[in-house]
Amino acid sequence: LAKTTQPISMDSYEGQEVNITCSHNNIATNDYITWYQQFPSQGPRFIIQGYKTKVTNEVASLFIPADRKSSTLSLPRVSLSDTAVYYCPVNSGNTGKLIFGQGTTLQVKP
Amino acid sequence: KAGVTQTPRYLIKTRGQQVTLSCSPISGHRSVSWYQQTPGQGLQFLFEYFSETQRNKGNFPGRFSGRQFSNSRSEMNVSTLELGDSALYLCASSLDTSVGDTQYFGPGTRLTVL
């Protein structure tokens, strides 16, 4: 099963762009890459999902290289409210099992 | 559309008791997955239900069980509670995970075992 690795923590300042990279070395052919944001004592909130290349929505962009062994979540112009834990679980394509790593705690400073 | 709802939001039990948690998926979603989140182990998959059948199961003891009803609502049960079962229990729903559909999480049930 694929396992994900992310930096434990990152600091940023308001208004900056933040890029969080996730490594998923043995991702399977039919696995999707999904990013979630979680605030304390709340459920993870879906941010973005992709399979390859680049995906963009109203809140973030997701970059996936051709070998799909990593992905990068890009948050443009972060604000204090973006302080949270970010996860990049791998979605095993034929099951309902999301495999979570330890997540990245993003601290946005004023 | 209403999101995933979980009840109760908070629960306090004592060791040896059992507990039942409930999850109502987003309307139209047929898959419900359950996860346990603890500070030490992080987010761990418990099981997934689709069309009232358990389709996948994580590495948890048999004290953890679940079921799904015909309206896709799901319950999970933990029997003979242990202190280590204290956790945030999350459920997530999707249209059908077998085709990579996105899972949407509920707010969770915070279980404290004393």
pLDDT at B85 exceeding the cut of 60: yes
Nearest residue, CB atoms, A98 vs list B99, B103, B108: B103
pLDDT confidence of residue B102: 87
Per-residue model confidence as pLDDT tens digits over A40-76 = 989 999 999 998 889 999 999 999 999 999 999 999 9
Tell which of A6, A88, A98, A99 to mutate to test the B interface (max B CBs under 10 Å).
A98
pLDDT confidence of residue B2: 84
Q: How buried is residue A64: exposed, middle or buried, by Cβ count under 10 Å (0-12/13-18/19+)?
A: buried
Quick one: tokens of A47?
């941010």
Unique residue bearing structure tokens 């507990």: B19
CA B50 to mean position of chain CA atoms: 13
If you average pLDDT over every residue of chain A, what do you get? 91
| Chain B positions touching chain A (beta carbons under 8 Å) | 4, 31, 33, 35, 42-45, 48, 50, 55-56, 58, 88, 90, 92, 94, 97-100, 102-108, 110
Per-residue model confidence as pLDDT tens digits over B5-61 = 999 999 999 999 999 999 999 999 999 999 999 998 999 999 999 999 998 899 999
Dihedral class, residue B16 (left if φ above 0, else alpha if ψ from -120 to 50, else beta): left
pLDDT at B77 exceeding the cut of 90: yes
Give the whole-angstrom CA distance, residue B10 versus residue A55: 37
At residue A93 the predicted structure's pLDDT band, cuts being 50, 70 and 90, is low
